[in-house]
Amino acid sequence: MGNVICAVGYVRASTDDQPNSPAVQTGALIAWAARCGAQLVETFSDVGISGAAPLDERPGLLAALEVVAGLGKGAVLIVARRDRLARDVIVAAMVERLAARTGGKVESADGTGIGDGPEAQLMRHIVDAVAQYERAVIGLRIRAALAHLRSRGVRMGGAALGWRYTDHTDESGHCLVEPVEGERASVERIMALRSNGLSVRAIAAALREERLPTKSGGRWHHTTVQRVIKRAIDSRPIQHS
């Protein structure tokens, strides 16, 4: 559509008060489009929904964001005022971030609180900080859960090269393992080369040349060799007789 701005309107009203009625907001969007030479492609609304409601409770807003994403770079999500977007600063900043992912942006018909000004930048920093915090909390919970499972003898990941888990457990409930002859030959070859003074890189090169199999059937790397050596030294698997 050339240089014409493609805009998607969004209207939110939690009450029937006239200053914030859907009709008043829609009029503001139409006036903005005429003033800016924009094409108001479609307008969505969430009526009877609080500005503090999360995104998953805002079907009109989500639909508007979907259309903005479809229009691509330069598309605008337009609201009458910033508080129509959300009264929760985090929700508002997240909406701006979602629009920006596809090259769009959010604007306010009254020209306040949205864009590249200090307030908008602050909101984006807040969202980034919250996202980083959530990732950190999730990471801590995962590590705590894994540590708890390990303390109970639950095996995390696959068996070491040269071994495989069986369906049997010892009296403590730990899984028993049994040797895998083909893989044991690779472990013994690695340990023999190491005892001869070869570096892990040299051992990896030798194994590739000899075409000895890895656990997954892939290519030998020095990090793989290092891991096998460490597990062979540190681990003493319980064998199933």
Distance separating alpha carbons of residues 125 and 131, to the nearest angstrom: 10
Spatial distance between the Cα atoms of 144 and 226, rounded to a whole number of angstroms:
27
Q: Which residue range is the domain that position 58 belongs to?
A: 5-127
Q: Would you say residue 39 lies in a domain?
A: yes
In terms of domains, do 47 and 118 share one?
Answer: yes
Which has more pLDDT, 117 or 1? 117
Whether residue 45 sits in one domain with residue 122: yes
pLDDT in tens, 38-72: 999 889 998 888 777 888 888 999 999 999 998 88
**Tokens 């070491």, residue?**
160
- Going by C-beta distance under 8 Å and a sequence separation of 6 or more, which residues neighbour residue 229? 190, 191, 194, 200
CATH number at residue 92: 3.40.50.1390
Question: Is residue 140 domain-resident?
Answer: no
Whether 112 and 9 share a structural domain: yes
Residues 181 and 104 in one domain: no
Please indicate, yes or no, whether residues 99 and 200 belong to a single structural domain of this protein.
no
At 83-101, the pLDDT tens digits run 888 877 778 778 888 888 8
| Interior angle at CA 128, CA 127 and CA 129, nearest 5 | 90
Same domain flag for 170 and 119 = no
Number of domains in the chain: 2
Residues 71 and 183 in one domain: no
Question: How many Å apart are CA 6 and CA 78, to the nearest integer?
Answer: 10
Q: Which one of 104, 127, 150 terminates a domain?
A: 127
pLDDT at 115 over 80: no
Mean pLDDT estimate for the chain: 78
Residue 169: what pLDDT? Answer: 65
